[in-house]
Amino acid sequence: MELGDDTWAVEFGFKGSGIAPRDRPDFQLDEVREYLIYVYPDAYSSWADAKDEARQRAYFRISPRWPDIDTKDGLNPMSNPYDIEGYDVEVEGSYWEFKQYPEVLQRALDTLADRQGFRFNSPTYIHPEDFNPRTIHSSSNIVDGEYYVRVKIGETDVAIAYDGTLHRISLLLSGDRQGYAKTVRDDRECPGYYHTATIDARRAGELIGSHELPKEFKHYYMRNPDAVKGTKLEHPKIGVSFQNSIHDETLYWDDLDKLETELDEALLNVLEWSDIPTRPDDHYFVEDDYFTVTGSRRWRKLLPERLPRIESKQDDQIFATASQMNATDAELVDTLLTDGGTTSPADLADSIGVHLDTVYRALKRLRPLVDHTYGEVQLGSKYIAQELTGYIDQVSESIQRGWENALDGLTRAESFGDEKDPWSRWLDRYGGTITATEGADPDELEVGFQPESIEDARELLRQGARRWAEVTGNPLRQFGFEFAPVVTCVDGTCYAPKRFADALGTPS
């Protein structure tokens, strides 16, 4: 068979279908069969050989359909939801454009029809026109599809590092106890041999706005890397595939443009986040028989720094919410971290020994970190769960030491106004004590709350500086000259910057 500039072998076979003969006088077959069509490069002796060497190929299993179709045993109903008279075609293949498969099928049947009666005889004549791509039924659906690029060895480290793109996609976007998420890191054959991050439809939309299809992001090598050393195939692929097994809806053939757009955008963004160009670049990309390093003009959504922004947002939510927890909040979060499985507000109330209304109030306060939908409660992501593990201990310790009671007696500088203002609330929240000094020296600001790290302490003071500037109307940087802050971390490390103003920006 000639298709494009290449010659293809077409192999024809059949097997039993288990379908009962049609109950009609003009139906002549005693045995209803499914017909198998294999298309592969003519340089290979079989479709299996072409598959073993990862060559371009296609397989079609054709099964007849008619109204009231039944099986021989009458026990297993046949799928024909629209009661059509036609054919059910199962398609499998690699390295074709998705829209090419219907054309490949019809061309293969054309070739077989030409040979019928010359090379083989059959009472069932082949009618290629029945498989015109324009007559594909609206119920036809898609169960798999992937876009990939081949990248030079050594240029994908950002994608496969432990804190790299694939791991962070799963960590930042995988709910603690909701939906589906999976991470695979297999380095047994070579570093980066098979790494994947799989997220469901909900998380796909969080990653790239308007996306609705579950996906698997992957980095992988050929099955036996040593066998292809020195060839183009020794270089890894980065790909994105549709995951039908965790899709709650049906992806129809008419939705093909949507699938192609989402896979294309997802792959381009993974490259962007992995410091790999999104335009043709021979330094990074390696052509193979099916992937060419060429570009095309098309509208696609690129989101630079999307993963750092998601991480930063979740960091801010963790820091702001964890530092305001009361005893009930801390117990609730600790329960979510340790119990595992699906939980509900009622189960949480029983577990920590409080009234259900108390749990609902706590969930409202913890909303940035905790998902509460349809009576189920979970932490917002694995990343949030991981970070909260460190915070929850220090929060519990602060509560046990009685910070909340001690804060009532703190002295406030009269120049900072009403107890209700944001600066006063910040001082209350974090146990801030101001000690006035003589002369031009800055006042001492000692913070009672103990953060996890120096970076957390620095962010805590920046937050306080913003509240102070909001109340006083002074420039943010002036905070560093008014106060000499001291913060002690959980591990006993003391953060007492001499020039904190430098951390608040440059003079305007």
Whether 90 and 217 map to the same domain: the answer is: no
Whether 292 and 374 map to the same domain: the answer is: no
Q: Domain ends where: 80, 109, 135?
A: 135
* Helix (H), strand (E), coil (C) string for 185-240: EECCCCCCCEEEEEECHHHHHHHCCCCCCCEEEEEECCCCHHHHCCCHHHCCEEEE
Domain with 101 in it: 2-135
Residue 140 belongs to a domain = no
CA atoms of 212 and 230, how far apart (whole Å): 40
Residue 253 belongs to a domain = yes
How many domains would you assign to the chain?
4
Strands 483-488 vs 443-447: parallel, antiparallel or unpaired: parallel
Residue 245 belongs to a domain = yes
Whether 155 and 293 map to the same domain: the answer is: yes
Whether 22 and 121 map to the same domain: the answer is: yes
Q: Tell me the two tokens of residue 194.
A: 């098979």
CA atoms of 391 and 29, how far apart (whole Å): 72
Q: Which amino acid is at 310?
A: I
Whether 162 and 274 map to the same domain: the answer is: yes
Whether 328 and 186 map to the same domain: the answer is: no
Whether 350 and 447 map to the same domain: the answer is: no
Whether 51 and 79 map to the same domain: the answer is: yes
pLDDT tens over the chain, length 508 residues: 888 788 999 998 888 888 888 888 888 778 888 999 999 999 999 999 998 888 899 999 999 998 888 888 877 777 888 888 889 999 999 999 999 999 999 999 998 888 765 544 555 577 889 999 999 999 999 999 999 999 999 999 989 987 788 887 877 655 545 567 788 989 999 999 999 999 999 888 888 888 999 999 999 999 888 888 999 999 999 999 999 999 999 999 999 999 999 999 999 999 999 999 999 999 999 998 888 888 777 788 887 766 656 666 666 677 767 767 777 888 888 888 776 545 788 888 888 888 888 888 888 888 767 877 667 777 776 667 766 776 666 666 665 554 443 334 333 333 444 445 778 878 877 778 888 877 778 888 988 888 878 888 888 888 888 888 888 888 877 888 888 889 988 888 898 888 776 666 555 4
What is 252-269 written as a DSSP string?
A: BGGGHHHHHHHHHHHHHH
Whether 197 and 293 map to the same domain: the answer is: yes
What is 27-60 written as a DSSP string?
A: ---SS-EEEEEEEEETTSS-HHHHHHTT--EEEE
Residue 234 belongs to a domain = yes
Whether 282 and 329 map to the same domain: the answer is: no
161 near 154, Cβ under 8 Å? no
Tokens 């009403």 correspond to: 418
Residue 141 belongs to a domain = no
Residue 441 belongs to a domain = yes
Whether 130 and 180 map to the same domain: the answer is: no
Q: Domain ends where: 248, 279, 302?
A: 302
Whether 269 and 348 map to the same domain: the answer is: no
Residue 449 belongs to a domain = yes
| CATH classification of the domain holding 332 | 1.10.10.10
Q: Domain ends where: 302, 320, 354?
A: 302
